[in-house]
Structure 1
Amino acid sequence: MSHEMMLAAVESLKGHKVMIIGDLMLDHYLMGEVERISPEAPVPVVRVEKESFLLGGAGNVARNIADLGGLPLLIGTVGRDQNGGVLENLCTQAGLTTRLIHDGDRPTTVKTRIIAHNQQVVRVDQERVAPLSPDGMDRLFELLESTLDDYAVIILSDYGKGFICREFMDRFLPMIKGMPTPPKVLVDPKTVNYDLYQGVDLLTPNTKEAGEGASMVVTGRESVIEAGRAIFKRLNCRNLLITLGPDGMALFEGTDTIRHIPTFARKVFDVTGAGDTVIATTALGLASGMDLLTACTLANYAAGVVVAQVGAATASPADLKETIEELPEPKVTYWKE
């Protein structure tokens, strides 16, 4: 994993395609100051000074791929409402190609965060957690049938809002397995849906999600290995990448080949969206022809870039190159029991 190899890997990302299917959200921020307590109830009164909107969920994954030079296709659902229009405009501004299912019975998922003095006061969620309607599901699969052949890598971005569900997976997995050259399927998991991900190519849980998937507490190297093997037994997935926060990543290529990739974060201000960056960079790396270890190592660099910024950030090729050149060459090691 020399500097030259990693810099060449960054260059190879440009122009490759990745499909992202999943829960699309609008992140809404209201930022201001608290100067008094409400006379109506013992709660702070936030005087709003700034309002902003960002792509969340699967949209943030797609934005990460686009900012790395890739060509994402974002597939999700939005409501026929004002927030849906804001979300679609953000996709256009980010240069994303989208195929969105409009559902009049389903509001656009919105997470509103009210922030005062750089601290979150409260979060308000507007959402309907349910699968697509039968008509919406049929429209989705008509769309997939016409586009799947063009994509070698697919991300399922599951935030537990219902888009990735039993009905979807029961149609999706047989569809791709029946293709002459099935695409690689990467999943950012939601604990409640673990059993839906049978046989996928790569699962990317964090430590907490891995522990929940294995029904155990994960606290260190031995428990990471044990949890990983339990997840393989449960899901029969091909590969597993457990992100370990400040301790880097554990990459399982099967149950017996486990490698540890050290963290590349110099500063950690905000881990928001780091999981989106990891799966986006890994997927784009695989789409460009990298082996899994190289793609995951590059993803670890990208995660180190975004956690040094506040909010759901992304990494650019220039950011990656600068980080690679400034840090020592990564020492990837084998983990054994």
Structure 2
Amino acid sequence: MIEKINRLKIAVIGDVMLDHYIFGNVDRISPEAPVPVLNVKDEKFYLGGAANVAKNLRDLGVNVYLIGCIGKDESANTFKKLCENENINTKLIELNRITTKKTRIVAHSQQIVRVDRELKQPIDSKAKSEILKTLEKEHIDAIIISDYGKGVISAKLIEDLRNKFDKFISVDPKVNHTKMYKNVDLITPNLKETQDMSKVEIQNDNDLKKAAYEIIKNTKCKYLLVTQGENGMTLFSEKGLVCHEKALAKEVYDVTGAGDTVIAVSTMCFALGFEPIKAVKLSSIAASIVVGKRGTSSVKFEEIKEYL
């Protein structure tokens, strides 16, 4: 398996972002307004969005190619340095827009506020053409579409990817883009996204099945992997329920980025030819490891071996 991972090459296309964490303590309320005063102790930057998916793959030993759009600002410089440090091959298209940056302020291990800097304007046709030309030059085994609704992913781009490249395509979805994901191989929504995408209120297992089949019917995707936090994850196909895997996490510290880990590991497994049940099992193990870490995290192959 390790030998196959090292030969695997996966492209991650989507909305890249910079995750910024400010850690500190709060021991008083501001005299200026009824808000806590944070005494900053530490500050860190992480790869976020599609870039965290790429980091997950790289940490597992996969050859990864990250394609996305950034601005011409300091956040872009920080982002590029992080990619270099992680040995992630990139094709970053620089546009006249700000680089998406999410700042999370954490006091005593509790997030108290998040500040987003972003622009959601769709990219132009020139940028889309650059994405396709980049992939034509690379030998890719699978494609992950990481859609955060910031403007990179469109129905036309997905259609072109599907028509031009006969590869396994998975999608980490954005609810209001459901109609875009036609005929892809795998979609990985969480429970709320499944409910919103299907317009089925989920109260029990039967509701979950109904919602899953509705999404599969509308998108004609091959597989739908629904992540459900403490209730584990369930894989569906057009033929019915494939398997359910219980949550394995012993302690949940931070769920940020867990979805990125799931789509990275599940896509890797499908690209390697794993049986669907084994792909879900390994994805569940990886997710259980990553939620036990602080901040947007990834999982290394050695950690999975140790867990097993």
Deviations 1:6-32 (A, max 9, x none): xxx566433311110001000011111
Counterparts of 2:229 and 2:98, CA distance in 1: 33
Residue 317 of structure 1: aligned partner:
301
Asked if structure 2 preserves the Cα contact closer than 8 Å seen for 1:277 and 1:302, the reply is yes
Residue 39 of structure 1: aligned partner:
31
Residue 253 of structure 2: aligned partner:
269
Residues 1:292 and 2:294 are matched in the alignment = no
Return the letter of the residue paired with 1:283.
Answer: T
Return the letter of the residue paired with 2:162.
Answer: I
Matches within 5 A, 1:1-337: 9=1, 12-103=4-95, 105-147=96-138, 150-165=139-154, 169-179=155-165, 182-324=166-308
Residue 136 of structure 1: SS of its match in structure 2?
helix
* Cα distance change, pair 210–172 in 1 and its aligned pair in 2 (3 A): closer
Return the letter of the residue paired with 1:107.
Answer: I
Once the two structures are overlaid, the 10-residue window that deviates more, 78-87 or 311-320, is: 311-320
Once the two structures are overlaid, the 10-residue window that deviates more, 239-248 or 20-29, is: 239-248
Counterparts of 2:79 and 2:161, CA distance in 1: 29
Residue 66 of structure 1: SS of its match in structure 2?
helix
- Paired residues in the alignment total 308
Once the two structures are overlaid, the 10-residue window that deviates more, 57-66 or 308-317, is: 308-317
Asked if structure 2 preserves the Cα contact closer than 8 Å seen for 1:13 and 1:285, the reply is no
- Aligned-residue offset at 1:66: 0.7
Residue 14 of structure 1: SS of its match in structure 2?
helix
Return the letter of the residue paired with 2:127.
Answer: G
Deviations 1:207-261 (A, max 9, x none): 1111111102223211111111111121111111111222221111323243212
Asked if structure 2 preserves the Cα contact closer than 8 Å seen for 1:203 and 1:237, the reply is yes
Q: Which consecutive aligned stretches of 4+ in structure 1 deviate over 3 angstroms post-superposition?
A: 9-12
Asked if structure 2 preserves the Cα contact closer than 8 Å seen for 1:17 and 1:287, the reply is no
Q: Any unmatched runs of 5+ in structure 1?
A: 1-8, 325-337
TM score, norm. by length of structure 1 = 0.87
- Aligned-residue offset at 1:273: 1.1
Return the letter of the residue paired with 2:281.
Answer: T
Identity between Structure 1 and Structure 2 (%): 40
- Aligned-residue offset at 1:62: 0.5
* Cα distance change, pair 194–138 in 1 and its aligned pair in 2 (3 A): same
TM score, norm. by length of structure 2 = 0.95
Counterparts of 2:297 and 2:7, CA distance in 1: 21
Return the letter of the residue paired with 1:141.
Answer: L
* Cα distance change, pair 116–141 in 1 and its aligned pair in 2 (3 A): same
- Aligned-residue offset at 1:175: 4.5
Asked if structure 1 preserves the Cα contact closer than 8 Å seen for 2:128 and 2:157, the reply is no
Residue 37 of structure 2: SS of its match in structure 1?
strand
Q: Any unmatched runs of 5+ in structure 2?
A: none
Asked if structure 1 preserves the Cα contact closer than 8 Å seen for 2:191 and 2:226, the reply is yes
Q: CA RMSD in A?
A: 1.7
Counterparts of 1:218 and 1:55, CA distance in 2: 33
Counterparts of 1:171 and 1:280, CA distance in 2: 20
Once the two structures are overlaid, the 10-residue window that deviates more, 138-147 or 211-220, is: 138-147
- Aligned-residue offset at 1:163: 1.0
* Cα distance change, pair 178–120 in 1 and its aligned pair in 2 (3 A): closer
Asked if structure 2 preserves the Cα contact closer than 8 Å seen for 1:229 and 1:255, the reply is no
Deviations 1:153-186 (A, max 9, x none): 1000011111112xxx31442453244xx01110
- Aligned-residue offset at 1:137: 2.5
Counterparts of 1:65 and 1:198, CA distance in 2: 25
Counterparts of 2:164 and 2:92, CA distance in 1: 25
Counterparts of 1:264 and 1:318, CA distance in 2: 17
- Aligned-residue offset at 1:132: 1.0
Asked if structure 1 preserves the Cα contact closer than 8 Å seen for 2:8 and 2:141, the reply is no
